[in-house]
C-alpha cells in the first residue's frame, strides 16, 4: 500500500514554499506567482502538473524555450496574456495552449489585468532538456531531476 493520494482538492494543496528555482536575481522576478504542485503530490514522475495563480503584474516564468520538454496550459480564471517570440495573445478562461519540444518558440504568461489569473500547467520531465532564455543571461539544463543554471558563457550562478 502507498500513502500517495489518488485524488485531492487542488485548492487545498499548499502553495510551493520555494517561490522559484531560478537563481538570484531572476527568482525575485517571480513575485506574485503562486504554484500548487499537484503532480508531485499525486506521485507523478514523468510529467509535472501545477495549479498556478498570477497576481496582477506577475509572470509565469522568464521568456523561455525548451529543447526537449513539451508544455501545455489551460486557463481557468482571469485574462492573462501569452507572450511569445512570435507575438502576444490575449487569453480568457477555457483557452489552452501548448509548445512542442524544440519548437524554438520562447513563451511565458503575463498577467496585465487587475484580477488574478489561474491556470493549469503541464510539462514533461525529459532529461537533458536545455532551456534558452532569449532576453536574459541564463541557460538551464535538466540533469538528474533538477535544473542546473548557468550564464550563457557557461559560468555558474
Q: How far, in Å, CA of 66 to CA of 64, rounded? A: 7
pLDDT at residue 1 in the model: 55
In a domain, 3, yes or no: no
The cell for 65 is: 524555450
Q: In what order do the strands lie in the sheet with 65-66?
A: 65-66, 130-132, 139-143, 146-150
Is residue 110 assigned to a domain?
yes
How many domains are contained in the chain?
Answer: 1
Tell me, what's the pLDDT at 2? 63
Domain residue limits at 63 = 32-150
Q: Is residue 155 part of a domain?
A: no
**Mean pLDDT of residues grouped by 10 in the chain (157 residues)?**
85 95 95 97 95 98 97 98 97 97 96 98 92 97 88 94
What's the pTM value of the predicted model, to 2 decimals? 0.94
Q: Which residues are 83's β-sheet partners?
A: 88, 108
Cell of 58: 506577475
**Host H or E run for residue 36:** strand 33-37
Cβ pair 118, 51 in contact under 8 A: yes
Amino acid at each position: 500500500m502507498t500513502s500517495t493520494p489518488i485524488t485531492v482538492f487542488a485548492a487545498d494543496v499548499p502553495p510551493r514554499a520555494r517561490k522559484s528555482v531560478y537563481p538570484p536575481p531572476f527568482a525575485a522576478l517571480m513575485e506574485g506567482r503562486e504554484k500548487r504542485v499537484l503532480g508531485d503530490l499525486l506521485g507523478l514522475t514523468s510529467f509535472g502538473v501545477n495549479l498556478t495563480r498570477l497576481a496582477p503584474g506577475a509572470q509565469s516564468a522568464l521568456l523561455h524555450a525548451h529543447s526537449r520538454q513539451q508544455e501545455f496550459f489551460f486557463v481557468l480564471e482571469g485574462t492573462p496574456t501569452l507572450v511569445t517570440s512570435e507575438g502576444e495573445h490575449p487569453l480568457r478562461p477555457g483557452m489552452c495552449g501548448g509548445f512542442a519540444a524544440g519548437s524554438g518558440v520562447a513563451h511565458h504568461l503575463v498577467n496585465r489585468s487587475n484580477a488574478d489569473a489561474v491556470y493549469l500547467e503541464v510539462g514533461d520531465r525529459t532529461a537533458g532538456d536545455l532551456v534558452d532564455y532569449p532576453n536574459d543571461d541564463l541557460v538551464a539544463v535538466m540533469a538528474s531531476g533538477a535544473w542546473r543554471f548557468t550564464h550563457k558563457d557557461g559560468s555558474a550562478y
